[in-house]
Amino acid sequence: MTFRNIIVTLFQLDKDWTTRIVSSMLILGVVWGALGVIDGLMVRIQESAWGIYGFLPFTPQEYFAGITLHAERTLFGFAQQIIFAIIIYLVIKLMGIQPRLKWLLNTAFVLLNISMMLMEGPILIYPSQAFDNYFSATIWYYLSPIGIPGYSLYVVSPLFFIGWILNDAFVYLAGFWIAYHMYIGTRNLKEKLPVPLLFFLVDILIFMIGYTGVTASDVWDILSFFGVVPMNALLNQIAFWIFGHSVVYMLWLPAVAALYLLIPMLANKPLFSDRMARISAILYLVFSNNVPIHHMYTINLPVELKFVQEALTYGVVIPSFMTFLNLWATAKGADVKWNIITAFTVTSFAGAILAGVTGIANATVSFDFIVNNSMWVVAHFHQMILLSIVPGAMAVLYVLIPMISGKMWYSSKMAWFHFWGYIVGVVILTVSFELLGFYGITRRAEIVPRAGGIPLAENLATAGAAIADIATLGWFINVILTIAKGSQVSLEGLSLGQIVGTVSMQLDWGSISLLKDKIPRIRKGLSASLVLAILGALMIVSSSIILASAGDATSPTDPLEWLWLAVFTLGIVMVAVNAFRLFKGL
C-alpha cells in the first residue's frame, strides 16, 4: 500500500465530505488523546519517583504543565472532538439528512485544533521577570487571575487565552451546525424525536449553555491582560465554574445517549418507558448548568447560597435515578449476548452509578469541606470519565468504525485485551486516587509525605495508569489494522440494529466456548452455586490466617490487612449470594 493510499484510507478521502470531516476529527482526537496520555504518564512518573526515591525527574513547570496538558488534550482535543464527531455522524445517518454548510463545520474543526496548539505553548512573546513559557501550568484551576499582568507575578502569553476563545468558538459553530441539521431532520418526522437523538440535542444545548460562563471568563481574562478592564477574581471564578460543573454532563450525556441507543438493541426489547426518558432529558438540561458554586464551598460566599447549590445539585440525582431504573427495566429478563459492545455498555452503566455516589458525597457541604481540593475529588471525576464516559464512547466506536471504514474489526482478541486491561487499570488508578484523598493529599500535590501508605497508593496509581494505557494502545493498533487490513463488509442498507448485531457477532466472547463442555459435568456433581458458596467459606476461613500474619495490628498501612479485608469481604459476598440461590431466595 502506497503512502497516498494510506492517507486516503485513513482519512476516508474517497467518501462523502461529512465522512471525511468525521474521520479527520476522530483521527486528530486520537492523536490529542495519545499526547494527553503521555502527559498523564509524565505526572505519574514524577509522583512515583518522589514516593520511591525522593527525586523529581521533571521541573515543577513541566509537572504542572503536564497536568494541564493532560486535561486539555484529553478533554478538548480528544473527548470533546470525538463526541462531536460521533453526534455529527449519527445525526446525519439516523435522520437521513442531506448535510449542508460544509464551510461552517470545516471552520469549527480547524479552530478547535488550532486552539489546542495555542493553549499549550511554549511561545515567548510577553517580556516579564517572572514569565514562564510553560503557561499551560496555569489552567484547570480556579485561582484566577493567575497569569494576568498587574494581578500576578506569574504571567503567561495571551495566546493561552486566545486558544481558549477559539475552543469556545468551536463549540458554538459546531453546536449550531448540529442543532440546525437536527431541526431540518425533525421537520420530516411524523413521530417524536428518538430518545438517543433527543439526548444528543440536550447535550449540544448543555455544551452551548455551559460554555457561556467560560467564554465570559476568557474574554474578561484577555481584556484584563491588556489592561482594558479591571479583574474581579471571585466573579471570574464563578463564571469559569459554570463551565467547570456542566462539563461533566457535556461529556456524560453522550454516554447516556449511547446507553439508550444500545441497551434496547442488545436486549432486543423496546425501551421500558419512553416518557421517563424524555422527562429525564429535560431535568438534565435544567440541573446541569446552574450549580457551579458547589465546587467553591470554601470560598467566602453566602452560606444560604451554598445550601441552595447543595439542594440543586441533589436535583441532578433525580434524572440519573430515572435513567438507571429505565435502562435496568429495559434489560431485565433479556437474553443478552456477552460481546465487546455489551461489555463496554454494561461498564458504562455500572461506572456511572459508582461515580455518581461519590458525586453526591461531594455535593454535601459538610463532607465537601473535608475532601475539598483533595485527590478524592480527582478520583470522582476520573471514575466518571474513565468508567462511564469512555466505555460508553468505546461501545459506540466499536460499531461506528466498521460503519465508516466498511471494514470489520481486525482482531477480536485485541478487542478483549483492550476491555479487560482497560477496566483493571482504571479501577486500580481511581481506587488509588481515593486512598490518596483519604490520606489528605491535595490535587496537584507534587511533593507528598513519603510515609505510611502514601507511596504505595502513588505507585498503584501509576501501575493502573500504565495498564490502562497499554490496553488502550492495543485498541489503537487494532483500529489501524482494521482500516488497513480488515475484511471488507457491506453495511449499506442495514438498520443500526442490524449493524450492531453484525459487529457483536464478530466480537463475541468466543473463548468462553472452551468452558461450555465442562459446565454440564459440574452440574452433574455439585451445583455451581454450591461450589462457589464452599469456595467463599474457604476464603472466609483463610482470611483469618492472613490477618494473623499481619505485622503490626495497629498499622492501617500493612498490605496484609488490606488483603484480609478484600478476601474476607469477597468470601462473605460469595457465600451470601450463592446461599440465596441455593434456597431460592433470589
Q: Classify 40 as helix, strand or coil.
A: helix
Q: What pLDDT score was predicted for residue 2? A: 65
Q: Which domain holds residue 152?
A: 13-187
Task: Answer yes or no: is 149 within a domain.
Answer: yes
Alpha helices for 411-453 (secondary structure H): 412-438
Residue 60, C-beta contacts closer than 8 angstroms, at least 6 positions apart: 446
CA 63 – CA 65 distance, rounded (Å): 5
CA 410 – CA 51 distance, rounded (Å): 41
CA 508 – CA 464 distance, rounded (Å): 26
Task: Answer yes or no: is 559 within a domain.
Answer: yes
Q: What is the pLDDT along the chain (586 residues), one digit of tens a residue?
A: 566 666 766 666 667 788 889 989 999 999 999 988 988 998 999 999 998 888 899 888 778 878 888 888 898 999 999 999 999 988 888 888 889 899 999 999 999 999 988 887 654 444 444 444 455 556 545 455 567 777 776 677 788 888 889 999 999 999 999 999 999 888 877 788 889 999 999 999 989 888 988 898 889 888 988 889 998 887 887 788 777 777 888 888 999 999 999 999 888 899 999 999 999 999 988 887 776 666 677 777 777 877 787 788 788 888 888 999 999 999 988 888 888 999 999 999 998 888 877 777 777 777 776 777 788 888 888 888 899 999 999 999 998 888 888 888 888 899 999 999 999 999 999 989 988 888 888 888 888 888 878 888 899 999 999 999 999 999 999 988 888 888 887 777 677 777 888 888 877 876 444 444 444 444 444 567 788 888 888 888 887 777 666 555 455 555 666 677 788 888 888 888 877 777 766 5
State the CB neighbour count (10 A cutoff) for residue 357. 12
Residue 23 near residue 11 (C-beta atoms within 8 A): yes
Q: Which uninterrupted H or E stretch holds 48?
A: helix 17-53
Which of 127, 161, 187 is the last residue in one of the domains?
Answer: 187
Angle between helices 496-506 and 340-363 (to 10 degrees): 100
Residue 24 near residue 32 (C-beta atoms within 8 A): no
Q: What pLDDT score was predicted for residue 513? A: 47
Residue 265, C-beta contacts closer than 8 angstroms, at least 6 positions apart: 496, 497, 500, 501
Which of 143, 165, 187 is the last residue in one of the domains?
Answer: 187
Q: Which DSSP symbol is given to 339?
A: B
Q: What residue ranges in 354-503 does DSSP mark as E strands?
A: none
Q: What pLDDT score was predicted for residue 488? A: 82
Q: What pLDDT score was predicted for residue 558? A: 58
Task: Answer yes or no: is 544 within a domain.
Answer: yes
**For the CA atoms of 103, 104, 109, 110, what is the dihedral angle to 10 degrees?**
60
* Residue 181 backbone dihedrals phi, psi, to 5 degrees: -70, -35
DSSP sequence for 81-133: HHHHHHHHHHHHHHHT-----HHHHHHHHHHHHHHHHHHH-----S--TT--S
Q: What pLDDT score was predicted for residue 130? A: 47
Q: Which residue has the cell 447516556?
A: 256
Q: Which amino acid would we find at residue 532?
A: L
Nearest Cα to Cα of residue 500 among 385, 337, 388? 337
Residue 167 near residue 119 (C-beta atoms within 8 A): yes
Chain-centroid distance of CA 324 in Å reads: 18
Q: Classify 368 as helix, strand or coil.
A: helix
Q: How many domains does the chain have?
A: 2
Task: Answer yes or no: is 280 within a domain.
Answer: no
Task: Answer yes or no: is 131 within a domain.
Answer: yes
Task: Answer yes or no: is 76 within a domain.
Answer: yes
Cell of 256: 447516556
CA 323 – CA 319 distance, rounded (Å): 6
CA 309 – CA 403 distance, rounded (Å): 43
Nearest Cα to Cα of residue 319 among 280, 272, 277, 290? 280
Q: Classify 155 as helix, strand or coil.
A: strand
CA 120 – CA 135 distance, rounded (Å): 7
Instruction: Find the distance separating the first CA and the last CA of the chain, reported in whole Å.
Output: 58
Task: Answer yes or no: is 33 within a domain.
Answer: yes
Q: What number of residues does the chain have?
A: 586
Angle between helices 102-120 and 158-186 (to 10 degrees): 150
What 123-132 contacts at long range (C-beta under 8 Å, 24+ apart), as own/partner pairs, is 123/157, 123/159, 124/157, 125/157, 125/158, 125/159, 126/155, 126/156, 126/157, 126/158, 128/155, 129/153, 130/154, 130/155, 131/155, 131/156, 132/61, 132/156
CA 422 – CA 393 distance, rounded (Å): 14
Which of 124, 154, 187 is the last residue in one of the domains?
Answer: 187
* Residue 258 backbone dihedrals phi, psi, to 5 degrees: -65, -40
Task: Answer yes or no: is 138 within a domain.
Answer: yes
